Amino acid sequence: MQLRRSNIQKLSQTEYDVLIVGGGINGAVAAASLAAKGAKVALIDKRDFAGFTSQQSSNLAWGGIKYMETYEFGLVRKLCMSRNKLMRSYPSTVKEIRFLTTIKKGFRYPPLFLYLGTLLYWFMGNGFTRLPRFLSAKRIAEDESIINTDGSSGGFEYSDAYLYDNDARFVFNFIRSAMNYGCVAANYVTSLGSKRDASGWSTQVTDDITGDAFNIRSKVLINACGPFVDKQNELAGQKTDHHHIFSKGIHLIVDRLTPNQRVLTFFANDGRLFFVIPMGPKTCIGTTDTQVDDPVTEVTAEDRAFVLDNINARLLLEKPLTENDIVAERCGARPLVVEGEGSGETDWLQLSRKHAVDVNQQDQHVSIYGGKLTDCLNVGDEISDLIKGLGINLPYPKARWYGEPARQVKQEFMHQARLMNLDAMTDSSSSEVLSQRLWRRYGAHAFDLLESIRANAKEAELLIENAEYLRCEIEQAARREMVTTLEDFLRRRSKISLVVKREDIKASPGLKEACEILFGDEAEAKWNEYFDSQ
Ligand SMILES: Cc1cc2nc3c(=O)[nH]c(=O)nc-3n(C[C@H](O)[C@H](O)[C@H](O)COP(=O)(O)OP(=O)(O)OC[C@H]3O[C@@H](n4cnc5c(N)ncnc54)[C@H](O)[C@@H]3O)c2cc1C
């Protein structure tokens, strides 16, 4: 809480080169890139960082194989390159994963034709991943016995990538590195609108925790409000070439369905793609694609029935999945870019998920539309190039603003971890050894955790059962991760509330201690706020 208090104070005291409104993936990469290159950056979000769309994705970094059907080969090539760049930059976080797709007899394309498509896809990705395989129905049944191959004409397997932890943590790590480079960021700060005068922008904001109102001054304003970009532009008097329409998607999280680490892909009864995706000790099933007018969405009984019916028809489970098996749900609306005024008549299922940036040179105003987690590194670089073009000095244009620390740093970390026998302290409920997990989550800051554990072995204890979080990690989160509500911690810094049932979290004796570490005197109030609110 100290970090947030201090940042809130700084927000009103300085004039920034750039104010970014919105801390989803687009705002986060813009902040990390600009701050590392030497701009004076501030970032605010009305919710928690990644607290809206960017916490609801399918956690996939993919080259957009499905856009091959609409012949968008340029986009597919670009997304494949973005995926490769992410995998190279974050080898512990963005990992290759196999996608096994089963095709029903009579589907609009035969499996062999689709397999040839995956080969082309593989070439377009420079052969960066393992080769695709063609699979007969018999082979699918042998490799993945939970798939119901009745009526299947076969299928194929190819590679893309996924975020091993979760999207929100991935986004937060960009916010955190932006802060390392001097960006002043704060969550739960709402922009009420911005005005431009001769010397720049003045944005009126409220601190939603204290209710205080103040202004933030900046030369340039970046609108990275995701689904709310259009609304925010109205409040700043900006007219743009693009606007958003929304496609709702949901995911249901259930106990792990198969021990194999691969994504299972099916076509639902209505022809849409849906996935069975590994998520730590659980499985995540989704997604849907439904056009909605309002980006604030929720999972409806109809959505649940659609996903459960489709999955039960395609898997051979001991017992069909029911609503009682759902551990947690995710629901969000993809902001899709359309040019001009667009309309509801757009064939939105065919709309590709590319991004667009509108720049008002005269007003020094930038709006980021659409986008994907997959393409985030390009968005960060593109935004800093544009901001330079608006006259902001970037003294370190070549600064490296993304990626895991260098290989030697990792080797040194692993060496120290081995010497203190860290992995032997891994709890039996964990899905991987401690050294791997700590390195992936914290990079070079994982050294501080080793230091804590060396000083006191109790620091390596799990505080919440099945949660894969040690006492020393929670202490570090309290210092460095601007955890403002208990939900920030349970849902976004960690994925505890996605993989542990709510009643089990509530009953966990360690949660109260975690709250004390995170919130001090406010521990009980924050605990009540979380459990009373849902
Ligand atoms: C179901 C689903 C599945 C998806 N799967 C994938 C996938 O597998 N791979 C992939 O690459 N992409 C995927 N996407 C797309 C991707 O998640 C989104 O494109 C991306 O997260 C959008 O990020 P953003 O930063 O533009 O928006 P957001 O994450 O919504 O961020 C905008 C932020 O602005 C803040 N804000 C709004 N108004 C204000 C205000 N007045 N003041 C201050 N802050 C404000 C919001 O609180 C929010 O945090 C998926 C999307 C959905 C919905």
**Closest ligand 1 atom, residue 287 Cα:** 1
> Which residue from 90, 228, 229, 290 has its CB within 8 A of the most atoms of ligand 1, so it is best to mutate?
228
Query: Quick one: tokens of 359?
Result: 């720049």
Q: How far is the CA of 54 from the centre of ligand 1 (A)?
A: 4
**Closest ligand 1 atom, residue 189 Cα:** 43
Query: Quick one: tokens of 360?
Result: 């008002």
Q: How far is the CA of 483 from the centre of ligand 1 (A)?
A: 19
* Ligand 1 pocket by Cβ (under 6 Å): 21-27, 44-47, 51-54, 56-60, 190-191, 224-228, 232, 249, 287, 332-335, 371-374
Query: Looking at residue 343, what is its pLDDT?
Result: 52
Query: Looking at residue 268, what is its pLDDT?
Result: 84
**Closest ligand 1 atom, residue 235 Cα:** 41
Q: What are residue 148's phi and psi, to 5 degrees? A: -80, 110
Mean pLDDT of successive 10-residue stretches along the chain, which has 534 residues: 94 97 98 98 98 96 88 91 96 96 89 94 97 96 95 95 95 97 98 96 98 98 98 96 94 95 89 88 87 95 94 94 96 92 56 84 97 93 97 97 96 98 92 94 96 96 85 96 97 93 90 95 96 82
Q: How far is the CA of 410 from the centre of ligand 1 (A)?
A: 31
Query: Looking at residue 340, what is its pLDDT?
Result: 78
Query: Looking at residue 348, what is its pLDDT?
Result: 56
DSSP string, 469-513: -BHHHHHHHHHHS---SHHIIIIIIS-HHHHS-HHHHHH-HHHHH
Q: How far is the CA of 66 from the centre of ligand 1 (A)?
A: 21
Helix pair 111-124, 73-89: axis angle to 10 deg = 60
pTM: 0.96
> Which residue from 8, 20, 56, 57 has its CB within 8 A of the most atoms of ligand 1, so it is best to mutate?
57
> Which residue from 19, 20, 53 has its CB within 8 A of the most atoms of ligand 1, so it is best to mutate?
53
Residues 6+ apart with CB under 8 A from 378: 78, 82, 85
Q: Which of 232, 231, 205 is nearest to 216 (CA)?
A: 205
**Closest ligand 1 atom, residue 50 Cα:** 49
- Count the alpha carbons within 13 Å of 256 in the hemisphere toward its beta carbon: 11
Query: Looking at residue 352, what is its pLDDT?
Result: 59
Query: Looking at residue 309, what is its pLDDT?
Result: 93
Query: Looking at residue 41, what is its pLDDT?
Result: 98
Calculate the dihedral angle through the C-alpha atoms of 510, 511, 517, 519, rounding to the nearest 10 degrees: -160
Residues 6+ apart with CB under 8 A from 495: 165, 166, 168, 169, 279, 280
Q: How far is the CA of 335 from the centre of ligand 1 (A)?
A: 7
Give how far Cα 438 sits from Cα of 138, 161, 256, 471, Å. 40, 20, 23, 12
159 and 97 Cβ atoms separated by less than 8 Å: yes
Q: How far is the CA of 61 from the centre of ligand 1 (A)?
A: 15
Rg for the chain (alpha carbons), in Å? 23
Residues 6+ apart with CB under 8 A from 240: 230, 233, 358, 367, 369
Helix (H/G/I), strand (E/B), else coil: 54: helix
CB atoms within 10 A of CB 409: 15
Q: How far is the CA of 53 from the centre of ligand 1 (A)?
A: 3
Query: Quick one: tokens of 446?
Result: 């994982």
**Closest ligand 1 atom, residue 330 Cα:** 1
